[in-house]
A = this chain, B = another copy of it.
């Protein structure tokens, strides 16, 4: 059980990657905010499948949290995270301080306009600017060939892929599937915030998504009706405050015009008490054929 090399310093991180790359090694990174769970570990395995070395970053990024969000209380448990990574064949854990990641403060930024105001962006203005600003810094610090993200953060993955293409980063964006608890709840570092009653009600999200998936399989193709079904399933439950439920084309994050076809992202967000959760299903639809799919 080899614990990864812990690096806190950007210069050391760059020197490590430069040395590995100059020996022809292919580097895959898994950017995380820590409090690692089975979902993160599955991304490590995805990275390992196409890379010679896997690096995990752990950084609770202040610029992607809004005022009143959970930046302060977000779980930080580096030692447990390093233990979770032991035995996964991870070479490096990059865990920089805020000052190390933002040496000149937080004003200089990389922003991607595409998609940033839709879905989660409506309720979290500035969130995706924070994401692209930290991911671009992580790419510069870690110099990966491949970066792996969870499909649970579908909008984030689409925006990061867009950023990568738009800014010409020589990095391949790769997705890992959502990992769920036995009862269907999507794994999330924020699930630890839930008390037992909230944990039970949290299933409302995955059940609403499943309900829409069933309608799809039963032949429903009307975007508005599918969205109504989802909204209905997410609403009217005590202790569950829906934020959005959308049925959209991942190419535009807007609904298909007349009937859903091709790739379909069904995504929702809701608050359980003070805890905001998100979840999604992705399908590929071809005529009568409806299959769960990766976003890309």
Contacts and interface: CB of A to CB of B under 8 A. Distances in A.
A27 to B, nearest CB: 11
A141 B164 CA distance: 11
Interface in A16-45: 18, 21-24
Contacts of A24: 22
B114 A140 contact: no
B101 A167 contact: no
Nearest to A159: B108
B111 A108 contact: yes
B167 A136 contact: yes
A176 to B, nearest CB: 24
A103 B162 CA distance: 10
B18 A170 contact: yes
A288 interface: no
Nearest to A103: B165
A140 B139 CA distance: 10
A101 B168 contact: yes
Interface residues of A, number: 32
B114 A170 contact: no
A121 to B, nearest CB: 15
Contacts of A140: 167-170
Nearest to A17: B170
A14 interface: yes
A166 B113 contact: no
Given A103-B165, A140-B168, A167-B136, A111 B114 contact: no
A136 B14 CA distance: 17
Residue in A10, A107, A109, A168 whose Cβ sees the most chain B Cβ within 10 Å? A168
A136 B108 contact: no
A113 B166 CA distance: 21
A209 interface: no
A111 B112 contact: no
A182 interface: no
B110 A166 contact: no
Contacts of A114: 104, 107-108
Nearest to A163: B108
Interface string A130-164: 00000011001101000000000000000000110
B166 A108 contact: yes
Question: Which 10 residue pairs of A and B lie closest in terms of their CB atoms, listed nearest first?
Answer: A108-B166, A104-B166, A140-B168, A107-B113, A14-B170, A110-B110, A22-B24, A108-B112, A141-B168, A137-B168
